[in-house]
Amino acid sequence: MGDAGPLKPGSVPLAVWRQVAEGAGFTLDPACRQPVEAAAKVVADIVARGETVYGINTGFGRLAKTSISADRLGALQRNLVLSHAAGTGGALAESTVRLILALKAASLAQGYSGVAWTTIEALLALAKAEVYPVIPAKGSVGASGDLAPLAHLAAVLIGVGEVSHKGERLDAREGLKRAGLAPLVLRPKEGLALLNGTQVSTALALEGLFGAEDGFAAATVAGALSVDAVKGSDTPFDARIHKVRGQPGQEEMAALYRDLLAGSQIRESHLDCGRVQDPYSLRCQPQVMGACLDNLRYAGRVLAIEANAVSDNPLVFADDGAVLSGGNFHGEPVAMAADIIAVALAEVGALSERRIALLMDPAMSGLPAFLVEDGGLNSGFMIAQVTAAALASENKSLAHPASVDSLPTSANQEDHVSMSTFAARRLGEMADNVAGIVAVELLAAAQGIEFHAPMGTSPKLGDAHGVIRSRVAFYDKDRYWARDLAAAKTLVREGEFRRFVGSGLLAEAGRL
């Protein structure tokens, strides 16, 4: 995957976080070390003075009023990690854990957490050696940080738990050995700094956003192909219509559809046809997809900020020695951004599914029923549309906002929580569902285009059609459908259609 280069904590762009998630190597800007060591000295000085400060020499949560003697501070940090490693469920994907390691290292490296530089180096070493802590996916409510999942990460640093390495599941100590590390003895505050923070929620939300980007791009191309396949009109994409409304995403999407359809022989063949209006799933694409685009961009801006944030507690300000307790660990920004992404994903998929249904119906499309010759003997795309409908329906349920829920924890000390971890985690499934829906539409629209031969679609859509046909042949008679669907879905998930809509489609002010 190459190298993402040294990360400059606080200003890492989303495109770089995506590279990291996809396997790119990374380091940290060496200039980070000085502020990290300055904050660590503040913590060491507090311990030397015997001053009582939350998170350094006290209990945690409801037990924050309990002072801990200096000779027990090592045990305090170790016990914190072990007791909080209470996650359950299947393990997070290695790509997610890699991103979590990078996010946590970059956050600690800003110099407000009071950890030793060697602790940050250990996180980097795990990622470099591809030794990934096994982190159960469930158990965080997204307040006080992603405590349970991050405790499983921190436990590996002290030689407890499991790791995955090149397909093997290993004991943590063996994993550390393969990364060239020995188990750490955590210093005062280090356990808390490792456990507090929104890095798990943020990593999951970022992966959901990247999946949404890929699905959105493919759905845009599929929608344009569907317009041509059913001999739809490009009049609804006229710039004058969208200018008078003034929604920026809508105007941009209309321009994109015009560009994709420009030069289509199929369109030229029916300029004077008697059809007055197309169904909404065709002619309202700029309005629906434009709204999704605007909201995905907003969510991207929120996540770009959070990915560069310091979100543990308490925070150490080395310039004046202050140690301040607040609530940056609360995952509400991530939870709300994830809910926005979820709604956009559900709508992208819902609109695509309606276009698939349109392509199936000869009365609406003018194409053979279920897009296959010799219907009756062949069922064609009949059940593929059912699959798309099932996936779209699932996404409607998954799109229910998670951020409106809260259950108090820690004996009511943490009496409002964000549910950001689940809000973000379900995005992976939703993006995968959208990829499946759009894959069906891409195949269906490509099939429809070929029924108009020798007339061709536009040059750009012709190129997109070629990408589809590079993996899946024309459906001339019934065959094992799942293989075709899997191949087309892989094209979507690999981002093969992003180049047709511009690399910065979901970008500006939160650039992907």
Tell me, yes or no, if 475 is annotated catalytic.
no
- Enumerate residues 6+ apart whose C-beta is below 8 A from 154: 81, 85, 186, 191, 194, 195
Rounded to 5°, angle at Cα 306 from 302 and 308 = 125
C-alpha dihedral over 263, 265, 266, 272, to 10 degrees? 90
Chain-centre distance of CA 203, in angstroms? 7
* Helix ranges restricted to H, 379-480: 382-398, 420-450, 459-469
Describe the chain by its helix, strand, coil percentages, rounded to 5.
Answer: 55, 10, 35
C-alpha dihedral over 336, 102, 76, 334, to 10 degrees? 0
Burial class (CB within 10 angstroms; exposed 0-12, middle 13-18, buried 19+) of 33:
middle
Antiparallel, parallel or unpaired: β 3-7 and 25-28: parallel
* Helix ranges restricted to H, 71-134: 73-84, 94-108, 117-128
- Alpha-carbon distance 113 to 190, whole Å? 8
- Alpha-carbon distance 36 to 9, whole Å? 12
- Count of CB atoms situated within 10 Å of the CB of 72: 11
Buried b (16+ CB within 10 A) or exposed e, 83-111: ebbebeeebbbbebbbbbbbbbbbbbbbb
The residue annotated as part of the active site, out of 54, 112, 257, 475, is 54
Which of 483, 404, 511, 505 has the alpha carbon at shortest distance from 14?
Answer: 511
Cβ-contact 196, 311 below 8 angstroms: yes
Residue 166 is which amino acid? Answer: K
Residues with a catalytic annotation lie at 54
